[in-house]
Amino acid sequence: MIQSYKKKYRALDKYDVLMIGSGMGCLAAASILAKENKRVLILERHYTPGGFTHVFKRRGYEWDVGIHYIGEVQRKQSAIKIIFDYITDSSLKWADMGNVYDKIIIGKKRYEFVKGVTNFKEQILKYFPNEEVAINKYVDMVFASNRAMKKFYMSKVFSKILDLLIGSFYKKEYLNYSNKTTHDVLSGITTNKNLIKVLTGQYGDYGLPPKQSSFAMHASVVKHYFDGGSFPIGGSSEIVNSIDPIIEKHSGTIIVNAEVKNIVIENEKAVGVKMVDGKIFYADNIVSGVGVFNTYKNLIPTEIAMKHDFFSKLKMIKPSVSHGCLYIGLKGSPEELGLPKSNLWIYPEKGSHDDCVEEYIKDINAPFPLVYISFPSSKDPDWSNRYPGRSTIDIITLLPYEVFGKWENTKWMNRGKDYDDFKEKISLRLLEVLFSELPSLRDKIDHYELSSPLTTKNFVNYSKGELYGIDHTPQRFNQKFLKPKTEIKNLFLTGQDIVTAGIGGALFSGLLTAIAVSNKNLLKKIKKSVL
């Protein structure tokens, strides 16, 4: 049972593991460790658990904040399917989005991404009949990068001695892909700029255009969706709902409205956390899932952070892109409105992705470099049972945090008329993009509201409203400190900063953290129990 810190709650004097934050990484690690008979406490500052997997409700509608589609969960023996089944006792069910999961729209041209590797290649070849060699080589490199990925991330839980002996061997192959930009790799196999623009049409899933992003990150996302996209039946809140009973069964709990002030460190060892009201929770192990910037800059005493050179390490990475999301409620069911299940990725006709982003950063009134449109109410077969005669749409675009700088010291829901007017201007621009694709919806809008980078900062506590934690540049993959076990005894990290962006990355980070905390190789056990 999820409890509130603002009300009377039940808690133990001491836990085996204490988690700061309730995002996917913490939830996964908590469930795995609970099954190892560890008593787990999750402390979440927000009023609802889940991190980017939570939902919010307004005016008779419900929106999923961070989950828009998940790959590989329809393939029984995929790693992500196995982990999800394990941490939820197979209670979480998924709805297939169908044959076409993404539509890349560049100007007036449309390109469909269809599920199945062979189908994908054949479909892209129809658009680019002279690029068969490049398309085949591209897919081969995507798979090669992902094959190397497993060893790279498993090396993150090696002991110091083991890492010294074989760590470089485990990492070498993957670094060959991660150290190159997406543009460098693709321009090495084709000179067709439009093909490159289409193949990188999902760059919004990790936030960086081709000339800035690591090819390994790009390859991870592309491979993730080769088997199509899926959506959790009942909405993303079902993730928390399916994990909470497992934690509770083993004397653990999730407490919301519970803001941690700092990690308590005694004799170079993490022993608990201090809340903003002064209360201290004790545990044998502390896991932070709130990002490395938050952890090292805000939760660890400055003298400890300086001793371990954490601030210098943080200078080697930078926060990811910030965004805005227009949450739309419509009168009429998804069927009545003819809403698709496929996501729309909409780009300007002229210029590369990088050029469009650069122009937009200089002038926010320039065309949006990327507009992503998702139709969650169409993807969830249970939606109309919960919200009959209603539908929802999410529209996401890049929004530089700096543009909102003058309002950063204002309070949520009370930032002033000029802030509201600015958001309205952006909202209307995004609605026009929607209407250009689905003009029949123009008179069907019942409600809309725009989240800004300040909204993300307020609820997720990322200082720049970043969406994906750390930027997925080549530099990021060379940082040895981005791993579960920290230099402070009994202090661990989890979440997308430890692996990669998105729910899949955070999910796998939870597994790695559970392995590091338990000091057990849990992979065989998890596979055996599920398959």
pLDDT at 354: 98
Q: 531 pLDDT exceeds 80? A: no
What is the average per-residue pLDDT within 7-18?
Answer: 95
End residue of a domain, out of 198, 227, 256: 227
Q: Is residue 142 part of a domain?
A: yes
Q: In the chain, what percentage of residues exceed pLDDT 90? A: 93
Do 260 and 353 fall within a single domain?
no
Region of residue 490 (left: phi > 0; alpha: psi -120 to 50; beta: else)? left
The model's confidence at residue 69, banded by pLDDT at 50, 70 and 90, is very high
Q: Is 397 exposed, middle or buried (0-12, 13-18, 19+ CB in 10 A)?
A: buried
Q: Is residue 39 part of a domain?
A: yes
Q: Is residue 472 part of a domain?
A: no
End residue of a domain, out of 227, 259, 281: 227
pLDDT at 460: 85
Do 278 and 324 fall within a single domain?
no
Predicted TM-score of the model (pTM): 0.96
Q: How many CB atoms lie within 10 A of CB 301?
A: 12
Do 310 and 324 fall within a single domain?
no
Q: Is residue 169 part of a domain?
A: yes
Q: 167 pLDDT exceeds 90? A: no
Q: Is residue 137 part of a domain?
A: yes
Do 409 and 511 fall within a single domain?
no
Q: Is residue 65 part of a domain?
A: no
pLDDT at 466: 92
Q: State the total domains in the chain.
A: 3
What is the average per-residue pLDDT within 316-321?
Answer: 94
Rg (CA), the chain: 22
What is the average per-residue pLDDT within 99-118?
Answer: 98
Do 309 and 330 fall within a single domain?
no
CATH number (domain holding residue 296): 3.50.50.60
Mean pLDDT (the chain) is 96
pLDDT at 1: 78
Do 415 and 334 fall within a single domain?
yes
pLDDT at 530: 77
Q: Is residue 108 part of a domain?
A: no
Please name the residue ranges forming H helices in 188-291: 193-199, 215-224, 237-249
pLDDT at 337: 98
Do 325 and 430 fall within a single domain?
yes
Q: 383 pLDDT exceeds 80? A: yes
Q: Is residue 67 part of a domain?
A: no
Do 139 and 175 fall within a single domain?
yes
Question: How long is the chain?
Answer: 531
Do 348 and 442 fall within a single domain?
yes
Do 200 and 269 fall within a single domain?
no
What is the average per-residue pLDDT within 439-468?
Answer: 94
Q: How many CB atoms lie within 10 A of CB 100?
A: 18
Do 393 and 353 fall within a single domain?
yes
In angstroms, how far apart are the furthest CA atoms of the chain? 67
pLDDT at 333: 98
End residue of a domain, out of 193, 227, 261: 227
Q: pLDDT (tens digit, 9 = 90+) per residue, 342-362?
A: 999 999 999 999 999 999 999
Q: Which domain holds residue 488?
A: 2-53+76-90+234-316+479-530
pLDDT at 528: 86
pLDDT at 76: 85
The model's confidence at residue 164, banded by pLDDT at 50, 70 and 90, is confident
Q: How far apart are CA 109 and CA 105, in angstroms?
A: 6
Do 439 and 349 fall within a single domain?
yes
Give every CB contact of residue 432 below 8 A, 6+ residues apart in sequence. none
pLDDT at 445: 98
CATH number (domain holding residue 411): 3.90.660
